[in-house]
Amino acid sequence: MDFNDTPEEASFRKEVRDFILAEAPLPKKGESGVEALMNSWEANLGWFKKLGQRGWIAPAWPKEYGGAGMTTVQQFIFNEEMALHKAPRPLHMIIGLGMAGPTLIVHGTEDQKKKYLPGMLRGEDIWCQGYSEPEAGSDLASLQTRAVRDGDDYVINGQKIWTTVAHIAKYMILLTRTDPDAPKHRGITYFILDMKSPGVEVRPLYNLGNSHEFNEVFFNNVRIPKDNVIGEENRGWYSAVTTLDFERSSIGSATGMKQNVEELIEYAVEHANDPTSTLNTNPMLRYELADRMLETEVARMLSYRVASMQARGLIPNYEASLLKLFSTELNQRIAKTAVHILGLYGQLKGDDAPNRGRWLATFLRSAAYTIEGGTSEIQRNIIAQRGLGLPRD
Ligand SMILES: Cc1cc2nc3c(=O)[nH]c(=O)nc-3n(C[C@H](O)[C@H](O)[C@H](O)COP(=O)(O)OP(=O)(O)OC[C@H]3O[C@@H](n4cnc5c(N)ncnc54)[C@H](O)[C@@H]3O)c2cc1C
């Protein structure tokens, strides 16, 4: 199998690379892409604007809606080059650009597209995703937040949980139950909610690393106009699945993992002559590093497989679960290897810590990787049933 770029792909890769090197505010040595994003917000807004001018802020969207209309292979190359150079991605916009926008393009009315897509592309409107509830996560179709029709509005009561960026979001994509008597997948309606609507209350939740990413959101008689339904009443499950298909796509992340392992190798080599270094006190760490490097190659092959299926018009099914499962568990192992290698220094935060404490933060955050976007157990169930043909348990 030939993994080399065709001449057209090589020329596109060069175009992307030249643009990144000329325009992107790239992170300093030891700084992560996310840190660079936070440390230089103004520079990044300028960078996002330049990406937007080329349609590259939404590479997968059709050109008519302001995207770049990139083919799957072009998206793969684009993602690889962005990760390779640690070019800042508009992470705060990911739910709008990566999930709500594509869902509106497929299921929204022309008025909804005109009203909501431009704000996403300009990076002005942050979106959040109101799917999970205290009693509905893996089994999402059990959600209970109620929407009842009243004149030209629906009245919403209930609660969502783990809602990332709800505290800064302007809009939410919201799943509700409109027909409690129908089979659970058939009584769901999908809305766009203005987060400023009276009766919406956002309460913060702090994660293991003590940072505020996600929230609880309560709805107390919140009114949403009927024009804000995406698709049809009671058929929201089908639009919701479209959003999840977009959420799953994580092609290109293998490049970032490989870079992280290379950074650890660099640290290990720099400290090779230090007798107190964990690499000298625990020789097994060398094998651990070698394993991580080997595993990033496996992740790369899995992501090539998913991308090549998409490029041929096939919809990756259990293959996407293989990639999600392997990559998120590998990310956790890489973070663990990092804190093993750093030894006691791995517990430090702040400017004087190795890599400014980034590995500690990554280690603490990594617990969530195998939960968000569908847990590892759910991915294993999909692989067992759809990939291996085993019966449901
Ligand atoms: C960092 C982070 C960000 C998130 N952001 C959002 C967001 O923005 N919007 C949103 O709507 N949600 C968000 N979520 C929620 C996420 O989608 C859910 O946490 C996830 O789907 C799991 O649901 P749950 O937490 O209710 O766990 P549960 O579904 O209750 O699962 C509990 C445990 O049981 C296991 N389990 C459940 N069912 C099965 C089964 N059939 N077979 C075997 N094992 C099973 C699970 O794997 C898990 O280990 C986020 C979560 C995290 C961690």
Position 389 scores a pLDDT of 95
| Predicted confidence (pLDDT) at residue 129 exceeds the cutoff of 60 | yes
- Based on the fold, state whether residues 202 and 316 are members of the same structural domain: no
Q: How many angstroms separate the alpha carbon of residue 112 from the centre of ligand 1?
A: 30
Higher pLDDT, 209 or 8: 8
Is residue 371 within 8 Å of 377, Cβ to Cβ? Answer: no
Using the atom order of ligand 1, give the atom closest to the CA of residue 95: 8
- Based on the fold, state whether residues 203 and 259 are members of the same structural domain: no
Using the atom order of ligand 1, give the atom closest to the CA of residue 166: 8
| 279 band by pLDDT with thresholds 50, 70 and 90 | confident
Q: How many angstroms separate the alpha carbon of residue 138 from the centre of ligand 1?
A: 5
- 182-198 pLDDT tens trace: 999 999 999 999 999 99
Average pLDDT of every residue of the chain: 89
Is residue 182 within 8 Å of 234, Cβ to Cβ? Answer: yes
Q: Hey, whose CA ends up nearest to atom 12 of ligand 1?
A: 132
Position 32 scores a pLDDT of 61
- Based on the fold, state whether residues 225 and 133 are members of the same structural domain: yes
Position 248 scores a pLDDT of 54
Does the residue 349 lie in any domain?
Answer: yes
Position 249 scores a pLDDT of 54
Position 226 scores a pLDDT of 97
Q: How many angstroms separate the alpha carbon of residue 256 from the centre of ligand 1?
A: 25
User: Is the shortest distance between the CB of 125 and ligand 1 below 6 Å?
Assistant: no
Pairing of strands 153-161, 146-150: antiparallel
Is residue 230 within 8 Å of 104, Cβ to Cβ? Answer: yes
In angstroms, rounded to a whole number, what is the distance separating the alpha carbons of residues 119 and 136? 30
Position 393 scores a pLDDT of 72
Which residue among 92, 375, 385 is best mutated to probe the pocket of ligand 1, counting the most ligand atoms within 8 A of its Cβ?
375
Does the residue 97 lie in any domain?
Answer: no
Note if 247 is an active site residue: yes
Does the residue 121 lie in any domain?
Answer: no
- Based on the fold, state whether residues 222 and 275 are members of the same structural domain: no
Position 114 scores a pLDDT of 95
Position 162 scores a pLDDT of 97
- Based on the fold, state whether residues 336 and 361 are members of the same structural domain: yes
Two structure tokens written together for 132: 């999970």
- Based on the fold, state whether residues 372 and 284 are members of the same structural domain: yes
**72-84 vs 284-311: helix crossing angle, rounded to 10:** 150
Write the DSSP string, 241-304. HHHHHHHH--TTHHHHHHHHHHHHHHHHHHTTT-TTSHHHH-THHHHHHHHHHHHHHHHHHHHH
Task: Using the 3D structure, point to which of 192, 210, 234 is the last residue of a domain.
Answer: 234
Number of structural domains the chain divides into: 3
- Based on the fold, state whether residues 305 and 359 are members of the same structural domain: yes
For the beta carbon of residue 330, count every other beta carbon within 10 angstroms: 22
- 10-41 pLDDT tens trace: 999 999 999 999 999 887 766 665 566 556 66
What's the CATH code of the domain at 192?
2.40.110.10
What's the CATH code of the domain at 288?
1.20.140.10
| 345 band by pLDDT with thresholds 50, 70 and 90 | confident
Does the residue 393 lie in any domain?
Answer: no
- Based on the fold, state whether residues 335 and 360 are members of the same structural domain: yes
Task: Using the 3D structure, point to which of 89, 108, 138 is the last residue of a domain.
Answer: 89
Position 228 scores a pLDDT of 98
Q: How many angstroms separate the alpha carbon of residue 373 from the centre of ligand 1?
A: 8
Kindly list the distances between the CA atom of residue 361 and the CA atoms of 267, 349, 366, in Å, as whole numbers in the listed order: 17, 8, 8
Position 194 scores a pLDDT of 98
Choice among 247, 263, 295, 319 that is catalytic? 247
Q: Hey, whose CA ends up nearest to atom 41 of ligand 1?
A: 378
What's the CATH code of the domain at 79?
1.10.540.10
Position 30 scores a pLDDT of 61
**Considering only 82-91, 141-150, 207-216, 318-327, which range has the smallest mean pLDDT?**
82-91
Task: Using the 3D structure, point to which of 27, 62, 89 is the last residue of a domain.
Answer: 89
Does the residue 266 lie in any domain?
Answer: yes
User: Is the shortest distance between the CB of 5 and ligand 1 below 6 Å?
Assistant: no
Which residue among 162, 369, 376, 379 is best mutated to probe the pocket of ligand 1, counting the most ligand atoms within 8 A of its Cβ?
162
- Based on the fold, state whether residues 81 and 194 are members of the same structural domain: no
Instruction: Show the CA angle centred on residue 378, arms to residues 303 and 133, nearest 5°.
Output: 115
- Based on the fold, state whether residues 222 and 270 are members of the same structural domain: no
| 349 band by pLDDT with thresholds 50, 70 and 90 | confident
User: Is the shortest distance between the CB of 375 and ligand 1 below 6 Å?
Assistant: yes
Does the residue 336 lie in any domain?
Answer: yes
**Arithmetic mean of pLDDT, 305-333:** 89
Kindly list the distances between the CA atom of residue 343 and the CA atoms of 210, 281, 286, 348, in Å, as whole numbers in the listed order: 22, 10, 14, 10
78 lies in which domain range?
Answer: 7-89
Does the residue 305 lie in any domain?
Answer: yes
Size of the chain in residues = 393
Position 38 scores a pLDDT of 58
**Considering only 7-21, 138-152, 277-291, which range has the smallest mean pLDDT?**
277-291
- Based on the fold, state whether residues 220 and 161 are members of the same structural domain: yes
- Based on the fold, state whether residues 276 and 365 are members of the same structural domain: yes
| Predicted confidence (pLDDT) at residue 252 exceeds the cutoff of 60 | no
| Predicted confidence (pLDDT) at residue 243 exceeds the cutoff of 80 | no
**Arithmetic mean of pLDDT, 137-164:** 97
Does the residue 46 lie in any domain?
Answer: yes
